[in-house]
Amino acid sequence: MLAIPGEGIEESVVAIEQQDLFQSTQRAFVRDLRPGQTVDAPFALTHLALKTYAGGKFLQAKLGDRTGRIAAVLWNGAEALYPSLQVGDIVRVQGAVETYREKPQLVIRRLERLENVEHLDPNDFVPTINLNSEQLIDELKTIARTVQDPHLLELLGMFFKDTPFLEGFLRAPGGKQWHHGYLGGLAEHTLGVVRNCVVLADRYPVVKRDVLIVGAIFHDLGKVLEFVYSTVIDYSDVGRLVGHQILGDHKLCEYAGRIDGFPQELLLELRHLVLSHHGESPDAARQPQTREALILSRADDLDAQMNAFTREILKARIAGRKWTDYVNLIGRYLYDSGGADEIGEVVIDDV
C-alpha cells in the first residue's frame, strides 16, 4: 500500500517533452537518497503496476540502479503513461523522496522513458558490488585441485576451460532479490558454499569429499542461464520455464558426456547433488537422499541466508538502528547483535 495524496496537488503534464524536462545533470544513486531530497536522475524500472485508489489510478513502481532499489509512486497521469512503460526500461525521474511506513519512497512528479541511452553506463543500473573476480576464481581453482578422482578432475577442467561460460559464471547474479542479487553474486556465493563444504567434509570424514566439493562448485551453474541482467536482474524465459536446478543438471551432463568412460554411478551421484541442493524447500527438484546432498543443501542455505541477513543488518546499522525493517520475504525483523563487519558497499533493496 502507498500513501494517498491530499487535495490540491498540481496535475502533471502527461505528454512530456524530453528536451526541457530535466535541468539538473547531477547523478543520484539509490543508496544516497534521503527523505526531503529532490531527485532528477535516470533509473532502471524494476517493477511496474497500475493501481486504483479513490481518486483514480496511480502508478506503483520500483526504481533501481547499481546500489539498490527504491519504491516509487506517480499519482498524476499514470493511466495514460502506463502503456508506454515496461520493466527494464531506463527512465528519467523528477520527484522528491518522502517517508512512507518508515521507509523511503520516491514520489514522482514527472517521468520520461529514455529512448537513447548510449550516453549512459549500463553498469550504473544493475546492482553491483566490488568483487575481485580473479582472486575469487583462483581460490576456487585451488580448492578444485585438492580433488583426487581423475574423472572428477577432468570434469572440473571442462568447466574451468569453458571460457564463454566461465565469463558468464563470473558476471551472473546469485539471485534476483533475496541473496547475492548483484553482478558477480553467483561466483561469490559458489565460493562461499564450497568453503562451507570443505569445513563440513573435514568434520564428517565418512562422506565422499571429492563428490561433495565438485557438487558444490557445480550446484548453481544453471543460474548462468536462469537470469538476464542488461538493465535489471530478472528471470530469462528458460529460467522461469525450466529453472536453474534442471539447467545445471543439463550442463553437468553435457560436460560429463564429453569424457570417455565417465562412470555413470558417479554422474548419478553428482546429478542428485545439483537437483537436491534446495533441500526440503517446496521448489527443490529432489530432496537430499545422500549424506553429501544433505551437507550441500545445508551449506548452500547457510551461505545464502548469511548474505541476506548481513545485508539487512548492515542497512539498519548504517541508519543507526539495532532492528531492521520488517523483512517481508521471511516474515520477521532482524536484530544487529554486533560483529566485526566493515560497512562497505551494501545493495539497498526493499524486501
Residue 283 counted as domain residue: yes
Reported confidence tier of residue 102, pLDDT bands at 50, 70, 90: confident
**Same domain (yes/no): 164, 275:** yes
Give the pLDDT of residue 340. 80
pLDDT above 90 (res 350): no
Q: Residues 321-329: contacts with CB within 8 Å, 24+ apart?
A: 325/102, 325/103, 327/351, 329/177, 329/178
**Same domain (yes/no): 146, 290:** yes
Q: What percent of the chain has pLDDT over 90?
A: 71
**Same domain (yes/no): 294, 168:** yes
**Alpha-carbon distance 233 to 182, whole Å?**
8
pLDDT above 60 (res 116): yes
Residue by residue, DSSP assigns 42-74 as EEEEEEEEEEEETTEEEEEEEEEETTEEEEEEE
**Same domain (yes/no): 167, 277:** yes
pLDDT above 90 (res 189): yes
Residue 95 counted as domain residue: yes
pLDDT above 50 (res 43): yes
Among 50-54, 74-78, 299-303, top mean pLDDT goes to 299-303
Tell me the CATH number at 312: 1.10.3210
Give the pLDDT of residue 37. 93
**Same domain (yes/no): 92, 114:** yes
User: 319: Cβ–Cβ under 8 A, 6 or more apart, which residues?
Assistant: none
**Same domain (yes/no): 204, 314:** yes
Cell numbers 543488518 label which residue?
A: 313
The number of domains in the chain is: 2
pLDDT above 80 (res 138): yes
Give the pLDDT of residue 296. 98
**Alpha-carbon distance 164 to 176, whole Å?**
22
Q: Which of 132, 129, 12, 128 is nearest to 73 (CA)?
A: 12
pLDDT above 90 (res 238): yes
**Alpha-carbon distance 303 to 272, whole Å?**
20
**Same domain (yes/no): 176, 313:** yes
Residues 313-341 have a mean pLDDT of 90
Cα pseudo-dihedral 185, 198, 207, 268, rounded to 10: 30
Q: Which amino acid is at 193?
A: V
Cell numbers 495524496 label which residue?
A: 5
Reported confidence tier of residue 17, pLDDT bands at 50, 70, 90: very low
Residue 107 counted as domain residue: yes
**What integer best gives the mean pLDDT of the chain?**
88
Q: How far is CA 212 from CA 120, 165, 207, 215, 299, in A?
A: 43, 22, 8, 5, 11
Q: How far is CA 223 from CA 71, 152, 156, 235, in A?
A: 27, 21, 18, 9
**Alpha-carbon distance 286 to 293, whole Å?**
10
Bigger pLDDT: 9 or 290? 290
Judge whether 151 and 91 are in contact, CB under 8 Å.
no
Residue 127 counted as domain residue: no
pLDDT above 90 (res 345): no
Give the pLDDT of residue 11. 37
CA angle 323, 63, 242 (to 5 degrees): 90
CB neighbour burial string for 3-38, b if at least 16 within 10 angstroms, e if fewer: eeeeeeeeebeeebeeeeebeeeeebebbebeeeee
Could you read off the pLDDT of 259-288 as tens digits, one per residue?
Answer: 999 999 999 999 999 999 999 999 999 999
Q: Which of 170, 159, 171, 77 is nearest to 122 (CA)?
A: 171
pLDDT above 90 (res 226): yes
Give the pLDDT of residue 22. 36
**Alpha-carbon distance 297 to 91, whole Å?**
40
CA angle 180, 186, 190 (to 5 degrees): 105
pLDDT above 90 (res 27): no
Q: What percent of the chain has pLDDT over 70?
A: 90
Give the pLDDT of residue 26. 54
**Same domain (yes/no): 107, 241:** no
Give the pLDDT of residue 119. 82
Reported confidence tier of residue 12, pLDDT bands at 50, 70, 90: very low
**Same domain (yes/no): 312, 220:** yes
Give the pLDDT of residue 248. 98
Tell me the CATH number at 34: 2.40.50.140
Reported confidence tier of residue 121, pLDDT bands at 50, 70, 90: confident
Residue 260 counted as domain residue: yes
pLDDT above 50 (res 234): yes
Give the pLDDT of residue 292. 98
Structural domain harbouring 262 = 133-318
Task: Enter the pTM of the model.
Answer: 0.83
**Same domain (yes/no): 54, 161:** no
Among 69-78, 217-226, 338-347, top mean pLDDT goes to 217-226
Q: Residues 190-195: contacts with CB within 8 Å, 24+ apart?
A: 190/140, 190/216, 190/217, 190/219, 190/220, 191/136, 191/139, 191/140, 192/303, 192/306, 192/307, 193/219, 193/220, 193/296, 193/299, 193/300, 193/303, 194/140, 194/143, 195/143
CA angle 213, 142, 244 (to 5 degrees): 45
